[in-house]
């Protein structure tokens, strides 16, 4: 039963609201492992959906599910140790909402009905808002307010887009139940006007949630104010889920013969996001905000890759996997630094290499990875997308793409170098511990491994995901 993938975290989440916080954290880890096992079973096709009108295991969905599950396991281990050191250690809300968050995200990945997908994404907003507000400061409140308001409006527009797509199906007047499979089969008959309008709203709507500029304004605030494990989850998993919504709509558009329209739109939004991310990273004074802007930039890269298609599409999926791994690792390192120095301000942090040498390794290699340097996977994926863009003769796009990458490396480099090597007289409040380091290392290691050796099944899954819209050579 495929639905177990999201029912398990829901059930565990309810239990976590009852259990004391300490036990709840243990439950977090146990559920994560259980979820990983279920995810693997789904991956190998051992789970069949009970309600196949609403749920199905699509290759792109399972891919994102596995990434989410793996990251969540690492984050659960990390928060077991992290939360104890903060003032939220006694809050059951944290455990419960983390589990609900996992459940809703899993639901996104296995949904087959456009409106179920929409409901699941909407639910992620609902359950993650308490995570952002958990510190209960004025700034946290502001961040939550922006998050809920902007995302709700965005998601409401996505609902409108879904209605328009449904309407396009109504006009064909079949009495088949609505599902993504059905839409793709009938794609050629659908009314192109409604499809275009629908896609526009879906991109704007889910794009808000995915952090595409100019709808990204909630993202830096939310990532900066949420506790680090939640930030890692927001950046590494939630953004992917929103991307899944856009990707499914894009597949439909390509099948309906409107691939140029949707692809160009994604490229434009992607490039805008990259530039915005790059510009705001320059001179950033808060290192968690810097990571958030880097997420915006990377989501832009993914959108550009999907928009270009072919090799770029393959690159986009590779990018998605590696970005999730590296970025969540970086947020976990940032959490350690925040514990150690007690501030998010770049200027007040210095000499990590001396004070927290092990965290330095993860933080600095994370930076190397996010900057797109080997041996991490983002190097490969960005290279692929650039090659695909050059092949498609989109030279202006390539120029902007590379310029934005340079901006990000420069901006992030200045911050990371300063934090790592500057002199500092600060004393370290909380020492680094094994349990808070191992998840960050694991995530980075996974990225390195996947860069040099892609398992056969992963390779075929990615190929299957992009098969519908022309595959790697399209």
Partner 1 sequence: MINILEVILVLILLTVLLSLGSTRLMALVRIMVLQGVLVSLIPLFLKSHEILTFGSVVFYLAMVIIKGILIPALLYRAVKHVSIQREIEPFVGYHASIVAGLAVLLAAVFMANSLKLTLPEGRELILVCAVTTMASGFFLMLARKKAITQVIGYLMLENGIYLIGNALTQHHHNLYIVEFGVLLDLLVAVMVMGIILNNINHAFDDVDTTLLGQLKD
- Residues within the interface to partner 1 (CB under 8 A): 113, 115-116, 118-119, 122-123, 125-126, 129, 133, 136, 138-139, 141-146, 148-149, 152-153, 155-156, 159-160, 163, 166-167, 169-171, 175, 177-178, 191, 193-194, 220-221, 224-225, 280, 284, 289
Q: Which is nearer to partner 1, 300 or 307 (CB)?
A: 300
Shortest gap between Cβ of 138 and partner 1 (angstroms)? 5
Q: Which of 202, 122, 468, 205 lies closest to 317 in space, CA to CA?
A: 468
Surface-to-core class of residue 306, CB atoms within 10 Å of its CB (0-12 exposed, 13-18 middle, 19+ buried): buried
Alpha carbons 390 and 385: distance in angstroms, whole number: 9
Q: Which is nearer to partner 1, 50 or 171 (CB)?
A: 171
Q: Which is nearer to partner 1, 196 or 436 (CB)?
A: 196
26 in Cβ contact with 17 (< 8 Å): no
Q: Which is nearer to partner 1, 121 or 444 (CB)?
A: 121
Alpha carbons 473 and 466: distance in angstroms, whole number: 10
Q: Which is nearer to partner 1, 152 or 184 (CB)?
A: 152
Q: For residue 235, give the H/E element and its range.
A: none
Q: For residue 248, give the H/E element and its range.
A: helix 239-255
293 in Cβ contact with 410 (< 8 Å): no
Alpha carbons 442 and 445: distance in angstroms, whole number: 5
First to last CA, the chain: 35
Unique residue bearing structure tokens 């239990």: 15
Q: Which is nearer to partner 1, 198 or 340 (CB)?
A: 198
Q: Which is nearer to partner 1, 182 or 449 (CB)?
A: 182
Q: Which is nearer to partner 1, 51 or 459 (CB)?
A: 51
DSSP annotation string for 34-62: HHHHHHHHHHTT----SSTTTB---HHHH
Shortest gap between Cβ of 191 and partner 1 (angstroms)? 6
Q: Which is nearer to partner 1, 55 or 317 (CB)?
A: 55
Alpha carbons 223 and 30: distance in angstroms, whole number: 26
Alpha helices, DSSP H, located in 19-137: 21-43, 59-82, 92-110, 114-132
Q: Which is nearer to partner 1, 43 or 147 (CB)?
A: 147
Shortest gap between Cβ of 167 and partner 1 (angstroms)? 5
Shortest gap between Cβ of 435 and partner 1 (angstroms)? 31
Unique residue bearing structure tokens 């992290």: 82
Shortest gap between Cβ of 119 and partner 1 (angstroms)? 5
Phi and psi torsions of 345, nearest 5°: -80, 130
Shortest gap between Cβ of 381 and partner 1 (angstroms)? 27
Shortest gap between Cβ of 145 and partner 1 (angstroms)? 5
Shortest gap between Cβ of 144 and partner 1 (angstroms)? 6
Alpha carbons 310 and 291: distance in angstroms, whole number: 29
Shortest gap between Cβ of 442 and partner 1 (angstroms)? 32
99 in Cβ contact with 13 (< 8 Å): yes
What does DSSP assign to residue 178? P
Here the contacts of 429-434 (C-beta below 8 Å, separation 24 or greater) are: 429/339, 429/340, 429/341, 429/342, 430/85, 430/339, 430/340, 431/340, 432/336, 432/340, 432/356, 432/358, 432/359, 433/81
Q: Which is nearer to partner 1, 138 or 427 (CB)?
A: 138
Q: Which is nearer to partner 1, 290 or 462 (CB)?
A: 290
Shortest gap between Cβ of 332 and partner 1 (angstroms)? 22
Shortest gap between Cβ of 136 and partner 1 (angstroms)? 8
273 in Cβ contact with 203 (< 8 Å): no
Alpha carbons 439 and 229: distance in angstroms, whole number: 11
Q: What is the largest CA-CA distance in the chain?
A: 72
Handedness of CA 345, 346, 348, 351 (dihedral sign): positive
Shortest gap between Cβ of 385 and partner 1 (angstroms)? 27
């Amino acid at each position: 039963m495929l639905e177990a993938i999201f029912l398990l975290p829901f059930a565990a989440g309810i239990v976590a609201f009852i259990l004391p916080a300490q036990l709840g954290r243990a439950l977090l880890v146990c559920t994560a492992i259980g979820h990983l096992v279920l995810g693997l079973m789904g991956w190998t096709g051992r789970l069949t959906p009970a309600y196949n009108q609403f749920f199905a295991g699509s290759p792109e969905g399972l891919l994102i599910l596995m990434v989410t599950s793996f990251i969540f396991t690492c984050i659960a281990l990390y928060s077991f140790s992290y939360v104890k050191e903060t003032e939220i250690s006694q809050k059951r809300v944290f455990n419960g909402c983390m589990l609900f968050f996992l459940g809703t995200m899993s639901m996104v990945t296995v949904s087959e009905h456009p409106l179920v997908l929409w409901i699941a994404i909407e639910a992620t907003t609902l359950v993650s808002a308490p995570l952002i507000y958990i510190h209960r400061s004025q700034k946290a409140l502001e961040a939550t307010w922006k998050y809920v308001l902007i995302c709700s409006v965005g998601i409401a527009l996505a609902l409108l887009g879904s209605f328009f797509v449904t309407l396009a199906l109504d006009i064909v007047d079949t009495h088949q139940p609505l599902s993504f499979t059905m839409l793709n089969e009938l794609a050629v008959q659908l009314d192109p006007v409604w499809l275009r309008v629908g896609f526009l709203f879906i991109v704007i709507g889910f794009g808000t949630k995915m952090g595409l500029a100019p709808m990204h304004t909630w993202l830096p605030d939310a990532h900066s104010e949420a506790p680090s494990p939640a930030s890692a989850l927001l950046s590494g998993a939630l953004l992917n889920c929103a991307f899944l919504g856009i990707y499914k709509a894009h597949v439909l558009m390509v099948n309906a013969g409107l691939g140029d329209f949707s692809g160009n739109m994604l490229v434009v939004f992607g490039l805008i996001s990259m530039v915005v991310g790059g510009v705001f990273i320059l001179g950033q004074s808060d290192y968690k905000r810097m990571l958030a802007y880097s997420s915006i930039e990377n989501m832009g890269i993914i959108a550009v890759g999907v928009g270009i298609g072919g090799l770029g599409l393959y690159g986009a999926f590779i990018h998605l996997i590696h970005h999730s791994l590296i970025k969540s690792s970086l947020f976990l390192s940032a959490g350690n630094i925040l514990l150690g120095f007690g501030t998010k301000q770049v200027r007040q942090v210095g000499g990590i290499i001396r004070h927290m040498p092990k965290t330095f390794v993860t933080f600095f290699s994370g930076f190397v990875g996010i900057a797109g340097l080997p041996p991490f996977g983002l190097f490969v994926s960005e290279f692929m997308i650039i090659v695909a863009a050059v092949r498609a003769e989109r030279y202006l796009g390539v120029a902007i793409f590379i310029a934005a990458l340079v901006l990000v490396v420069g901006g992030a480099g200045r911050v990371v170098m300063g934090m790592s090597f500057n002199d500092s007289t600060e004393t370290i409040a909380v020492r680094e511990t094994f349990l808070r380091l191992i998840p960050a290392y694991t995530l980075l290691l996974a990225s390195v491994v996947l860069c040099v050796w892609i398992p056969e099944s992963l390779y075929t899954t990615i190929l299957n995901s992009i098969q519908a819209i022309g595959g790697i050579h399209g």
